[in-house]
Amino acid sequence: MKTWNDFGLLSLVSVLSFGVFHAAVAEDPLRVIAHPAVPVERVDAAQATQIFLKQLRTWSDGTTIEPIDLKEDSPVRDEFYRQVTGREPAQLRAYWARQTFTGMGVPPRRAADDAEAAQLVKKMPGAIGYTATEQVDGSVKIVLEPR
């Protein structure tokens, strides 16, 4: 049986780990990466917003844009949307609920983590994703560094 002390300890651990985790997210370099063949070298936050909200669907050369998102519970994802699109996670979910249930669109493909996102971006022509990992090799393009 849990005691109040257990709950207190759990709460303390939760608070501390939350703080440490957020500090880690804040320090990681958030980058928007794209397949090397996409016809742009840079995108701005406005373009990234429209790409990840799937309002903008083709690159300038006609290639289909394939945005790669991260899973719902990813803090990197929340940070990306806050920084780049100015939307809170709840606002984003409301946006996709609207798109889905009115038949106007479906959310982007989702990767399990940064590494899978980078792999998908590297493999799929037209793909664009984001990552907070330190190492981004030359197999993808960095097209936006929000900070």
Partner 1 sequence: MPTCYHFAKSLSFKPSWLLLAGLLPAFSSWGAETAPQQPTFPALYFSGFATFAGTYNDNDAAGVVTSFAQKRPANKGFSTKLDSVLGGQIDWWLTPTTSVTLQGVARVGNEMEPELRLGYLRQQLGDALSVRLGRIRTPVYFDSDVTEIGYAYLLARPALPIYGLLNSFSWLDGGDVQWRHPFGNTVMLVQGYGGRVDYAVYAPGTTPKTITNGEFTDVVGLAVSAILPRVTFRLSYTEVGDMHLNSPELNVLNAGLTQLAGGVRLLAHNPLLPLPNALGLQQQAAQIEDLINPYDGAAIYTSLGFDAYLGAWRLMGEWVMVDPKSAMLARHDGFQLTAGRSFGQWTPYVSYAQFERKTANLNTQALTATGLHPLLDAGLAQAQAELDRLAHASDASTESLSVGVRWDFRHNMALKVQYDHFRTPDASTRGILAVETVPFRNEVNVLTVGLDVVF
The footprint of partner 1 (CB under 8 A) covers: 45-47, 49-50, 55-58, 62, 64, 69, 71-73, 85-91, 93-98, 100-104, 106-110
DSSP 55: S
- Closest approach of partner 1 to the CB of residue 66, in Å: 11
Cβ atoms of residues 35 and 128 within 8 Å: yes
Structure-block tokens of residue 102: 């009115």
**Cβ closer to partner 1: 107 or 140?**
107
Minimum CB distance to partner 1 smaller for 89 or for 146? 89
**Each residue of 41-67: b (16+ CB within 10 Å) or e?**
eebeeebbbebbbbebeebeeeeebbb
Burial 89-128 (b: 16+ CB within 10 A, else e): beebeebbeebeeeeeeebbebbeebebbbbbbbeeebbb
Question: Which of residues 60 and 135 has its CB atom nearest to partner 1 in the complex?
Answer: 60
Q: Which one, 9 or 22, has the nearer CB to partner 1? A: 22
CB of 30 to partner 1, least distance (A): 18
Residue 119 Cβ, how far from partner 1 at the closest point, in Å? Answer: 12
Smallest distance, partner 1 to C-beta of residue 112, A: 9
Among residues 3 and 102, whose Cβ is nearest to partner 1?
A: 102
User: What is the nearest approach in angstroms of partner 1 to the Cβ of residue 101?
Assistant: 5
> Cβ(146)–Cβ(44) under 8 Å?
no
State both tokens at 99.
Answer: 């798109």
